[in-house]
Structure 1
Amino acid sequence: MGPARVFPSLHRATPLVGAVALLSLLTACGNGGDSTGAVSTPPGTDSRTTAPPTTGTGSPTTEPGTTSPGAADTASPATQSAGPGSRCHTSELRAAIGRPSPGAGQRNFPIVLTNTGGHTCTLHGYPGAAFVDASGKQLGPDPKRSPDTPMTVTLTPGSSAWAGLTFASPEISGARTATPAALLVTPPDERDPLKVAWTAGEVPVAGNESSVFVTIVQPGTGG
């Protein structure tokens, strides 16, 4: 014999039983419950009876690793660390003009950057350079970059890196010249320059073959 069927018996219930069941159902609905007596929750809402805790911005908090849909990310951006291996900043460096290395019709000077800070930092790419007069006015255009492949140079405290500054000898090129009071050197990826007195005489500022070139930073002092 197969199992008894339940669903057909519902249709054979007596009118009295049906009336009692209907009355119970209406009572439960009037109390905010379902047919079992449990309190019902409107569709689409949380079953908790209290609101979720909020942060100081009024946004609901979420489980770790999740984000509330549509909520703005209020986390503070990571600040740049001054720990070992971070980029060298202008305030941590000293600039100097090294001993010139004459070439065939060229004048070559190493721009030396020395780590004066208390931790290891790195330099990568080209420094900025500008000749200025005593009033701070720039003489000539910005130097051009030589076609080198940048490298990352790690500077421990007290160590140095250098970049080459080169231009054609004015007496050979016939370029118009000026005598700078200083060279402003800006470390790679920085905005604040370091001022270095210029004592090497005239530099080309206009005319034929007046371009000044700067190379990438490299380890050492260039001497």
Structure 2
Amino acid sequence: MVNTPRSARHGALLLGTVAVLGLLTSCGDGTDVHSDPPVSAPGTAAPARETTKSPPPAAASSGTAAPAPSRATASPGGAATTAPPGTATAASRAGTPAAPGKRCHTGELRASVGRGDPGAGQENFPVVLTNTSARTCTLHGYPGAAFVSSSGAQLGPDPRRAPGSPTTVTLRPGQSAWAGLSFSNPGISEAKTATPAALLVTPPDEHDPLRAAWTGGQVPVSGNSSTVRLTVLSPGTGP
């Protein structure tokens, strides 16, 4: 057995340690080592990116509803204009046309009989209704009429309606409408006659009559050709 000096053994161990350290250093500097690229497994998605989006304007966190869309309306020139929600358009502000005046009541009228206009064996008189109220009112159709004596007794039957097309007559305060009253001349028809004191005139759709003085002489009350006729109301006081 050869005895190696202790100093020689220590030197050899030191050299071996240095050699190992050099080898490790050359392998770990990264200059000669190539790593493989990352491999994507088939069917897997790329990592999701988290982005932050602000909520849309219509979403309200307070729970209140989004404002209603404005309405588009057409201007007279054809261009569209936009009205804010809840704003009335010109058509809605204008509203519907005003309703015509209500009918004339008995207490708002005065009745009179105009001058007679005889012709061709007929006696013709305008029966006039005048608006004495402070408002505008209307008359439509035929009035009612009856001859009465001084005691109030009716003389003869009620007049019949002559053919005609009823129209609505609007009367402002002081204006009048008239209906024609006609009958055959008693001297020609040889009908029985009477001389009335008054003519009772009832406005259309009313129940209470108005009294108008009668100055037209005798009227037929029975017999041949004794029928008295009334026409529809027309604007004015006579033909």
- Which TM-score band applies after superposition, normalised by the shorter structure? 0.5 to 0.7
**Alignment partners' CA distance in 2, 1:197 and 1:219:** 21
CA-based RMSD: 1.1
| 1:180 counterpart = 2:199 | no
User: Where does residue 199 of structure 1 map in the other structure?
Assistant: 215
User: Where does residue 140 of structure 1 map in the other structure?
Assistant: 156
* Cα displacement (A) at 1:109: 0.2
Residues 120-173 of structure 1, C-alpha deviations (whole Å, 9 max, x = no match) = 000000000000001101000000000101000000000000000000000000
User: Where does residue 106 of structure 2 map in the other structure?
Assistant: 90
Considering only CA atoms, is the larger Rg found in Structure 1 or Structure 2?
Answer: 2
Matches of residues 46-195 of structure 1 in structure 2 within 5 Å? 85-195=101-211
The DSSP-based 3-state class of the residue aligned with 1:91 is helix
Identity percentage over the alignment? 70
**Alignment partners' CA distance in 1, 2:118 and 2:236:** 19
**Alignment partners' CA distance in 2, 1:112 and 1:150:** 16
Amino acid at match of 1:100: G
User: Where does residue 5 of structure 1 map in the other structure?
Assistant: none
* Cα displacement (A) at 1:199: 1.2
User: Where does residue 91 of structure 2 map in the other structure?
Assistant: none
The DSSP-based 3-state class of the residue aligned with 2:139 is strand
Q: Determine if contact 1:84/1:119 at 8 Å carries over to the other structure.
A: no
The DSSP-based 3-state class of the residue aligned with 2:155 is coil
**Alignment partners' CA distance in 2, 1:184 and 1:103:** 24
Amino acid at match of 1:117: S
Q: What TM-score, normalized by structure 1, do the two folds share?
A: 0.62
Q: Which 4+ stretches in 1 moved above 2 angstroms?
A: none
Q: What TM-score, normalized by structure 2, do the two folds share?
A: 0.58
- Which blocks of at least 5 consecutive residues in structure 1 are unaligned? 1-82
**Alignment partners' CA distance in 1, 2:142 and 2:100:** 21
- Which blocks of at least 5 consecutive residues in structure 2 are unaligned? 1-98
User: Where does residue 81 of structure 2 map in the other structure?
Assistant: none
Q: How many residues align?
A: 141
**Alignment partners' CA distance in 2, 1:93 and 1:119:** 11
Matches of residues 24-39 of structure 1 in structure 2 within 5 Å? none
* Cα displacement (A) at 1:189: 0.5
**Alignment partners' CA distance in 2, 1:145 and 1:92:** 24
